[in-house]
Amino acid sequence: MRTQVAIIGSGPAGLLLGQLLHRQGVDTVILDRASPDYILGRIRAGVIEQGFADLMAEAGVADRLAAEGERHDTVEISVDGVYHPIRLAELTGGKHVTVYGQTEITRDLLAARAAAGLPGFYGAENVTPHDMATDHPYVTFQKDGLNYRIDCDYIAGCDGSHGICRMHIPKHRIHEYERIYPFGWLGLLSNTPPVNHELIYAKHDRGFALCSKRSEMLSRYYLQIPLTDRVEDWSDARFWDELKRRIPEDAADRLVTGPALEKSIAPLRSFVSEPLQYGRMFLVGDAGHIVPPTGAKGLNLAASDVNTLYRILTKVYREGRHDLTARYSEIALRRVWNGVRFSWWMTDMLHHFVRDSIEDKIRDSELSFFLSSPERRRIIAEQYVGLPYEAVE
């Protein structure tokens, strides 16, 4: 089998890239080791930058996002129970974010790919990229006991943080930067009305908490917990009690609780692999970098990588600009490092590290400095709504 771009990974990065390239007449095949149902079962991101929403529109898959996504002009930071609104639109000249779940983004993209009849292999085993440093890369895999080989011009490694594409880059051609945080997030999804219209990022002596949502009857909450805790340690009742203690009093008073539809723990880490390419293979999204979720940047950085690669490949196929492929990593990484820094900063400012340490006192002081004037809050707002995408020329 032959295609122009073999896409490994059918998460939001792989699917969005496939859809955008399809609209430019570029052929793709998508391979994923999981099934579509499994992919849709993962509860992850919820905050979409405008650049990402615009890209979904360019891909022709933004109808439901526009109709059901909720526009947010403000985000709340609470410190020991006191609100500090960050008025995103007011501070950034009208920019905002949209609350629309990653699950729904993925559902829309999978539906569009199926409707266009584009090829994909789910439940693909032993997916392996080959000969990326030559002009004739290919991918092999097995499915239902049969062996497959896909010859292609380029390979897009969109296979997430546990993917295999990065592993196939020789060690001496890649540098990996990593920071592991000494805590995790316990997330809970429930069929209850969200406690607040705006998201609340709550810094508290007992630890960080986040109040988020998916819709008017679907809430998503997170608690900072020690890495040694297991999901079984947290009954629904214990989760709700702890959440109430960390959020502002008025929110705790109106919090509607209910049984958890899903509860899971995510460890927090910052990770970047440099460069994001090896020959004719590109790393896109979580395959090349991870951020802690506090800045809501992971999925949005995946989208900005897709934007860069899609614009480069469009110029390659339409204008013969083969010179541009060598620049993918450099362009994508500029924005990635900014997101990595902002996510690290938000995590650092809002979480509790070591009680009564000088570092925690300095963090408190730095956060109150940044919350203390519109000019300083603007610095947070501009990054939260997302920096502009860099042009590819």
Using the contact rule CB under 6 A, the part of the chain among 155-163, 194-202, 229-237, 319-327 near ligand RFL is 155-163
> Rounded to 10 degrees, what is the CA torsion of 327, 331, 334, 335?
-150
- Minimal distance, residue 102 CB to ligand RFL, in Å: 5
DSSP state of 323: G
CA separation, residue 356 to residues 131, 201, 243, 363 (Å): 54, 22, 22, 11
User: Do 302 and 296 form a contact (C-beta atoms < 8 A)?
Assistant: no
- State whether the Cα torsion 306-105-70-285 is positive or negative: negative
Q: Is 384 known to be catalytic?
A: yes
Asked if 293 touches ligand RFL (CB under 6 A), the answer is yes
Asked if 347 touches ligand PHB (CB under 6 A), the answer is no
User: Do 265 and 222 form a contact (C-beta atoms < 8 A)?
Assistant: no
- Minimal distance, residue 369 CB to ligand RFL, in Å: 25
Residue 103 structure tokens: 């699950």
87 half-sphere exposure, CB direction, 13 A CA radius: 7
Asked if 386 touches ligand PHB (CB under 6 A), the answer is no
Asked if 350 touches ligand PHB (CB under 6 A), the answer is no
| Residue matched to tokens 């951020």 | 291
CA 222 to chain centre: 16
220 touches which of ligand RFL, ligand PHB, none (CB within 5 to 8 A by kind)?
ligand PHB
For ligand PHB, the closer of residues 26 and 43 by Cβ is: 43
Asked if 300 touches ligand PHB (CB under 6 A), the answer is no
201, 221, 317, 328: the active-site residue: 201
In the bound state, the residue with its beta carbon closest to ligand RFL is 11
- Minimal distance, residue 4 CB to ligand RFL, in Å: 19
Q: Is 154 known to be catalytic?
A: no
Point out which residues pair with 151 in neighbouring strands.
2, 138
Q: Is 275 known to be catalytic?
A: no
Between CA 292 and CA 314 the distance in angstroms is 31
Q: Is 22 known to be catalytic?
A: no
For ligand RFL, the closer of residues 9 and 248 by Cβ is: 9
User: Do 185 and 268 form a contact (C-beta atoms < 8 A)?
Assistant: yes
Interacting positions 66-125 with ligand RFL (CB under 6 A): 102, 124
> From the list 16, 48, 296, 349, which residue makes contact with ligand PHB (rule: CB under 6 A)?
296
Between CA 322 and CA 249 the distance in angstroms is 58
| Residues near ligand RFL (CB under 6 A) | 8-14, 31-34, 39, 44-47, 102, 124, 127, 158-160, 162-164, 185, 187, 266, 285-286, 293, 296-300, 302
| Residues near ligand PHB (CB under 6 A) | 45-47, 199, 210, 212, 220, 293-294, 296
